[in-house]
Chains A and B, each alone.
Chain A
Amino acid sequence: GQQVMQIPQYQHVQEGEDFTTYCNSSTTLSNIQWYKQRPGGHPVFLIQLVKSGEVKKQKRLTFQFGEAKKNSSLHITATQTTDVGTYFCAGHGNMLTFGGGTRLMVKP
């Protein structure tokens, strides 16, 4: 079945450093979605990528969708303490499958 792998599992960064999480699917995706879950909260939708090679930006966040539509990344520039949380990718193939998530911790 469809599998979505996400790395790293955890990342500690100093405030101001950059952060990247990577997502890889075992199958070609029709789209990929990214969500953020704050500690104790519920996942909140960030963005959806549909086109091969697509790049989208939201302030300090940059999202990429690979050319083969099987991988994606989220890059945060100059992290802030408000970026703390777990970032999940979710790949839409024949069903929506969540990656394991990357837990970001930011030291002030």
Chain B
Amino acid sequence: GAVVSQHPSWVICKSGTSVKIECRSLDFQATTMFWYRQFPKQSLMLMATSNEGSKATYEQGVEKDKFLINHASLTLSTLTVTSAHPEDSSFYICARGENNSPLHFGNGTRLTVT
């Protein structure tokens, strides 16, 4: 069964609103979780690494004030897309992985901003 749960699966929102995406580790306490973005027919781009109890580490070019990450517990990380615009429409996927171990991905959230 799934070891990483992501919610919601899809969301449609109006431009200017904020959207929160939740990612839960179901069977393992995760100190680190990863947030990826995937545009249609493209690869996975790492946005940020979420660290439990501390600030997230953002990849170059990713606005930390726009993509707010909170990892308040060992089982939950959240990504909030603030003041969403149509260009933020994408597939957002969280993943759990420790050290060099393989990633367990959530089901992903398809965000459409109108």
Chain B residues near A33: list those with CB within 8 A: 102-103
A70 within 8 Å of B (CB atoms): no
**Measured between C-beta atoms, what is the minimum distance from B107 to chain A in Å?**
5
A42 within 8 Å of B (CB atoms): yes
**Measured between C-beta atoms, what is the minimum distance from A69 to chain B in Å?**
13
B23-75 interface with A by 8 A CB criterion = 41-44, 46
Task: Count residues of chain A with CB under 8 A from any CB of chain B.
Answer: 19
Count CB-based A-B contacts (< 8 Å).
36
Classify the secondary structure of B's interface with A. loop
B21 within 8 Å of A (CB atoms): no
**Measured between C-beta atoms, what is the minimum distance from A48 to chain B in Å?**
6
CB < 8 Å: which of A45, A48, A100 contacts B42? A100
In the bound complex, do residue A43 and residue B44 qualify as a contact, i.e. CB atoms below 8 Å apart? yes
A44 within 8 Å of B (CB atoms): yes
Point out residues on B near A: beta carbons under 8 Å.
41-44, 46, 93, 97, 100, 102-108
